[in-house]
Amino acid sequence: MTQEAAFIQTIQQYRGILYKAAALYTDRPEDREDLMQEILYQLWKSYGSFRQEAARSTWIYRVAMNVSIHYLKQNRKRPRTVALAPELLERAAPPDEAEQSRWDNIRRQIDTLSLLERGIVLLYLEDKSYREIGAIVGLSESNVGTRMARIKAKLKKRITEKKQA
């Protein structure tokens, strides 16, 4: 299998998390597309140097989060032209209205979190263990647990305050 074919297969396997990362860190569809392209570009650029010291999924999550955070911090677009295989840009099926409404409500609350907290929540929602999250974001397992407890409390308080208002 060629390196390009292996890369396409890997991206197709983890396409969902890449779209979720792009959606979590951007508001506009155009920005999501730009961020998704940047994530794919950075993954391709570093694909040959992946040393397999960590799980492939850990590496992909880390790249996606780092690129997303960098993209937000830059707050400007750098035009890049990279030829991507069309199958990499296929979209997942759109959610139904009720699911979309729930996601929009959750998204509004998640948007109030810091960049690191957003990343932790994203990985938590992907059913990653605290150990895996720690490996991806560079924190200890216990630190992830503490931060997750604080994030949950913060979100619960905001939701409760919103319902009372």
Residue 85 has pLDDT above 70, yes or no: no
pLDDT digits (tens, 9 = 90+) for 93-147: 556 787 777 777 778 888 888 888 988 988 888 888 999 999 888 889 999 999 9
Which pLDDT value is given to residue 108?
83
pLDDT digits (tens, 9 = 90+) for 56-75: 888 888 888 889 888 887 75
Is the pTM value of this prediction over 0.85?
Answer: no
Which pLDDT value is given to residue 81?
45
89-94's contacts with Cβ under 8 Å and 24+ in sequence apart are: 89/36, 90/15, 91/19, 92/15, 92/16, 92/19
Domains and CATH numbers, the chain: 1-92 (1.10.1740.10), 95-165 (1.10.10)
